[in-house]
Amino acid sequence: MDMSVALAEGWRLKSNISSRVGTWPMRAMASGGMVLIDLTDAEREPLKIARDSMALKVKYLGEYNIHGAAKRAGFLKDDVLVAVDGITRRLTEGEFIGQMLVKHAQKEQVKATVLRGGNRVELVLPMQ
């Protein structure tokens, strides 16, 4: 089945690809070099983020070449991604990467919202 059709029909990409070597180039393309972790339910409570909402914390932020695109766009380590391109539902890092790669072309600029120090910050995520 075509992945764009599968996503349009509500299928979710369930694989955990975060530890795979092949994930690094996909991170550069889809997240500008960020390593993202889904916050646990306990970590969400003080931030007032619902269990079914996006809460992807920037665990690591690449610094150089294509892996530094998110940093150059203003993302910081420990930011919590709560919305991207209108998507606010809970996603794993693998689901996030899959969504971004299927829905967006290279060089697109995707609107993103992060929580930083209790404030919402609007940024633009560059697709590569």
CATH number of the CATH domain containing 49? 2.30.42.10
Mean pLDDT of all residues belonging to the chain: 84
Domain of 105 in residue numbering reads as 3-126
* Confidence band of 67 (pLDDT split at 50, 70, 90): confident
User: What pLDDT, on a 0 to 100 scale, did the predictor assign at position 18?
Assistant: 58
pLDDT at 49 over 90: yes
CA distance between the termini of the chain: 25
User: What pLDDT, on a 0 to 100 scale, did the predictor assign at position 105?
Assistant: 79
DSSP state of 127: P
Domains identified in the chain, total number = 1
* Confidence band of 31 (pLDDT split at 50, 70, 90): confident
Query: What is the residue type of 75?
Result: F
User: What pLDDT, on a 0 to 100 scale, did the predictor assign at position 22?
Assistant: 58
DSSP state of 99: H
Strands 80-84 vs 56-61: parallel, antiparallel or unpaired: antiparallel
pTM for this structure?
Answer: 0.81
Alpha helices in 52-92 (DSSP H): 69-72
- Report the distance separating Cα 30 and Cα 55, nearest Å: 17
- Report the distance separating Cα 10 and Cα 126, nearest Å: 25
